[in-house]
A and B are shown apart, each in its own frame.
Chain A
Amino acid sequence: MRICSWKSIIATAALATVLASVSASGQNIPRLADGKPDFNGIWDRPRILDITRDSNACGSGAPTKGCVQKGSGELSYTAWGREQWSGPRFDYAARCLPWGYTRAMQTAYPIEIMQTPKRLAFLFESNNVFHVVPTDGRKLPENQDPSWLGYSVGRYEGDTLVIETTGFNGKTWIDTAEHPSSEQLRVTERLRLIDADHVEQVVTWTDPKTYTKPIQNTRVWSRMKAGEELMEWWCMENNKDLLEGHLVDTHKTGNEQ
């Protein structure tokens, strides 16, 4: 517990430092021709195994600095949610099924943002998948078919890009610590450029079937140095863990991940 507290203090201090150093944000950020903030780039992010916890290390392995994760602290489950959380289960990602949207956002591997005035795409190195976010004013579709990554729309509120994502299939976990979600999950992300090389991402999960109140994380992503590119990453290439039967069912296992 003491370690957690220190980590929390360090993450909070790191976050405060980054935010304070750029309190006059908006002055020197890159912009598209239409004046919108320009998020194009390859971003290193904190690797987040557990959304309840803090972390301040960039995940990619490159010596990038400045990544921050401020976790949510303890979660408040509904009866259904607690049942999902405490039961034994097998990690679908070990079978190389998709991470799910927010778990994909939390891997150690970098993401690239490709942005035009009316569309933005996240390219995930992990599993080499993509996710498109229209920003042309359309509404979220109704009667969405359930999906792993959900359906997103984005809008700009000043210099903040707000992305709403729904239409999940309920099969994904919010994180590798196995926090469950349902098809009622709604994810709201608020992205803003703190400066030319840092993005603040505030993520809010709302899932009334699983949790009694919204969950929030605040993160800082750091731009990777020029010359870095996304690499190949195929989960099933040499997935001996699965193919040779090393894997076992898990459930909540304390600090082990």
Chain B
Amino acid sequence: MKATLAALIVGLLVAPLPAVAHHAFAAEFDSKKTVIVKGTVDKVEWTNPHIWIYVDMKDEGGTVTRWQCEGGSPNTLTRQGWSRESLKPGQQVSIEGFRAKNGSNTCNSRVVTTADGKRLFAGSSFGQ
């Protein structure tokens, strides 16, 4: 019973709930341009209206590119059970997201996965 309850709680935490946008998704991101940002977390800004995750992604030649990915609001994420300490600088992370329309290294994070396979801050404002 406990295991079932734990599974249910985990299920709730990783359910694809929307990141809460304070504007239309299409005003910033392109739902047709997906991206996977893999690298080392430099910092997490746990701020409204959205959290931002900064990731240094190294290519095969060793060149490092800085990416920034938007997540939900601290309020919604806190109520889902996350905290400002759920993801810390130095952690390896893989973010599946949608690219910004302006071509910068900016994304709206859909799925955030840490090196041990844990999914964090699930959700995107797309399609909600």
Question: Real complex partners, A and B?
Answer: yes
Interface residues of A (CB under 8 A from B): 47, 49, 59-63, 90-91, 93-94, 96, 107-109, 125-126, 176-178, 228, 231-235, 237-241, 244-250, 253, 255-257
Q: With A93-B23, A245-B102 as known contacts, state yes or no: A238 contacts B79, CB within 8 Å.
A: no
- Besides the known contacts A91-B23, A256-B25, 4 further A-B residue pairs in the complex with CB atoms under 8 A apart: A61-B78, A93-B23, A109-B75, A250-B26
Tell me whether B20 and A107 are in contact (CB under 8 A): yes
User: Given the interface contacts A61-B77, A108-B18, A231-B75, does A241 sit within 8 Å of B28 by beta carbon?
Assistant: yes
Q: Are B73 and A233 in contact (CB under 8 A)?
A: yes
In the complex, what residue of chain A is closest to B73 when comparing beta carbons?
A233
Closest partner residue, chain B, to A95 (CB atom): B23
Whole-angstrom distance between the Cβ of B45 and the nearest chain A Cβ: 6
A-contact bits for B42-74, CB 8 A (1 contact / 0 none): 000101111010000000000000001010111
Instruction: Give chain B's interface residues, CB within 8 Å of chain A.
Output: 12, 17-18, 20-28, 31, 45, 47-50, 52, 68, 70, 72-80, 100-102, 104, 106, 125-128
Which residues from B are CB-within-8-Å of A255? 127
Q: Is the CB of A240 within 8 A of B52?
A: yes
Within the complex, what minimum Cβ distance (angstroms) separates A239 from chain B? 6
A176 to B28, CA, bound (A): 14
Query: A107 to chain B: which residues have CB within 8 Å?
Result: 20
A221 CB → nearest B CB, Å = 16
Residues of B within 8 A of A246 (CB): 28, 100-102, 104, 106
How near does chain B come to A123, taking the closest CB pair, in angstroms?
14
Most buried by A among B24, B27, B78, B104: B27
Give chain B nearest CB distance to A241 CB in angstroms.
5
Given A109-B75, A250-B26, A238-B20 contact (CB < 8 Å): no
30 contacts between A and B (CB under 8 A): A47-B18, A59-B20, A59-B76, A60-B76, A60-B79, A61-B79, A62-B80, A91-B27, A93-B23, A96-B22, A108-B20, A108-B76, A109-B20, A109-B73, A109-B76, A125-B75, A176-B24, A231-B74, A233-B48, A235-B22, A238-B47, A240-B50, A241-B28, A244-B104, A245-B102, A253-B26, A257-B21, A257-B24, A257-B26, A257-B128
Once the chains bind, are B102 and A248 in contact (CB under 8 Å)?
yes
Q: Is the CB of A237 within 8 A of B47?
A: yes
Write the nearest CB–CB distance from B120 to chain A, whole angstroms: 14
Closest A residue, CB atoms, query B49 = A235
Residues of chain A with a CB closer than 8 A to B128's CB: 47, 49, 257
Q: How far apart are A82's CB and chain B's nearest CB, in angstroms?
A: 19
